[in-house]
Structure 1
């Protein structure tokens, strides 16, 4: 994890710098945008993982059907 060494003091410092750069009115908007982006990324990742599982099932199905049709 790349941010494993950041402690509470480091997080407070980052928040203070962000407050200075963006101002107090923009921070909630940035937080919401970051949260939405993260949730969309998680959803897309889950979709890819589930899609790969479905592709594997689709690949196995014709083989299973062929084996059942031949009586094996």
Structure 2
């Protein structure tokens, strides 16, 4: 933007500006001149407001496009993540040898059944923690 004075911009001196003001005064008269100045000021203000509105709209659109670009850049196709996550495992699971003296465990049974060995003293009173699924707790209401 231009940072010099208006006279440098228009390449006019003080005498030339005075001559122009005298011609304007003669053409429009002393009574009409304040109205013209008000109208000119209002026109300049409206022009500035309109140009600021256009600038704001342009900046808003540029910022919205930048945000959209960032979101698109951050979004990677979900298929690449899901393809990696759902890819079949082709390797065999690693089986480590059992330590010496270990007792094999039957993994086919997943619940406690009758006849299983107890690790606690059977003569101890039963508590709420030791109830089984076959014996529902009684609610004392």
What are the residue-to-residue correspondences of 1:1-72 with 2, within 5 Å?
A: 4-70=10-76
Structure 2 residue runs of 5 or longer lacking an equivalent are: 1-5, 78-141
TM-score (structure 1 length as normaliser): 0.81
Shift of 1:68: 3.1
Write the deviation string for residues 19-72 of structure 1: whole angstroms up to 9, x where unpaired.
Answer: 11100000000001101111111111111112111101111222222333439x
Partners in 2 of 1:35 and 1:5 — Cα distance? 23
Larger radius of gyration: 2
Shift of 1:8: 1.1
Structure 1 residue runs of 5 or longer lacking an equivalent are: none
Decide which structure has greater helix share: 1
TM-score (structure 2 length as normaliser): 0.45
Aligned residues: 71
The runs of 4+ residues in structure 1 deviating greater than 6 Å are: none
**CA RMSD across the alignment:** 2.1
